[in-house]
Amino acid sequence: MKDLNPQYQVKHLLRTLQKLNCQVTRTVQTEKTLVIHVDAPVPELQHRSIEITETVNGLTRRIRAARHSGCCVVWED
């Protein structure tokens, strides 16, 4: 039976993303989940993602995010 603890899931997801040639640029641990920033998404994540538009001081930034294995995978459009 697979180990279902959060650290195992995160390590498994990072290995899976690296095998699919998706470069992880940064990881951030929040109180409830892990946020993984990648340079470009894999097609599996791209079709399940949502678009987030953020405007700060007149500058607009669009990012996309998708959930995978209990983690939030984020990339810029």
Distances (CA, A) of 21 to 9, 27, 43, 46: 19, 17, 11, 14
Residue 37: both structure tokens together: 């920033």
Q: Is the pLDDT of residue 5 over 50?
A: yes
CA pair distance 21, 33, nearest whole angstrom: 23
User: What confidence tier does 4 reach under pLDDT thresholds 50, 70, 90?
Assistant: low
Please list the residues that pair with 61 across neighbouring strands.
54
Q: Which pTM does this prediction carry?
A: 0.80
- Over residues 9-45, the pLDDT tens digits come to 788 888 888 888 888 999 888 888 889 999 988 888 8
Euclidean distance between CA atoms 67 and 70, whole angstroms: 6
